[in-house]
């Protein structure tokens, strides 16, 4: 119980949060859903994070399409690996 209390008092390190988001790549749909759920929870608890993410991830449509292709490939590869 005390650990949870201490965890809530911890100040968010924005650089660590940014590094985590930039480097965290889920390999399964379940992992992707977990990441999404956690990010949604954190941005609701800390609205300043949502503002920062919006700043960091404002990218041109061409780059967004490239990222979408990469994400679709990751999901497809993960599904193939899971089926084996």
Instruction: Return the higher-pLDDT residue of 43 and 58.
Output: 43
* Domain annotation covers residue 51: yes
Instruction: Report percent pLDDT > 70 for the chain.
Output: 79
Provide the number of structural domains found in the chain: 1
32 within a domain of the structure (yes/no): yes
Q: Is the pTM of this model over 0.85?
A: no
Tell whether 74 is covered by a domain: yes
Q: What angle do CA 51, 32, 70 make, to 5 degrees?
A: 90
Domain boundaries, position 76: 13-83
What is the pLDDT of the chain when averaged over all its residues?
Answer: 76
Name the CA dihedral angle for 31, 34, 35, 36, rounded to a multiple of 10 degrees.
120
Token pair of 74 as six digits = 């990751």
pLDDT tops 60 at residue 4: no
Do the domain assignments include residue 61?
Answer: yes
Please tell me the number of Cα atoms within 13 Å of 71 on its side-chain side.
12
Flag whether 2 is in a domain. Answer: no
- The answer to whether position 48 is within a domain reads yes
Residue 4: inside a domain: no
Q: Is residue 68 in a domain? A: yes
């Amino acid at each position: 119980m005390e650990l949870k209390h201490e965890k809530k008092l911890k100040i968010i390190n924005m650089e660590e949060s940014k590094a985590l988001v930039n480097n965290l790549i889920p390999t399964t749909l379940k992992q992707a859903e977990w990441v999404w759920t956690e990010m949604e929870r954190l941005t609701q608890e800390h609205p300043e994070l949502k503002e920062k993410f919006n700043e960091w991830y404002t990218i041109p449509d061409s780059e967004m399409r490239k990222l979408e292709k990469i994400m679709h490939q990751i999901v497809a590869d993960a599904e193939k690996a899971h089926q084996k």
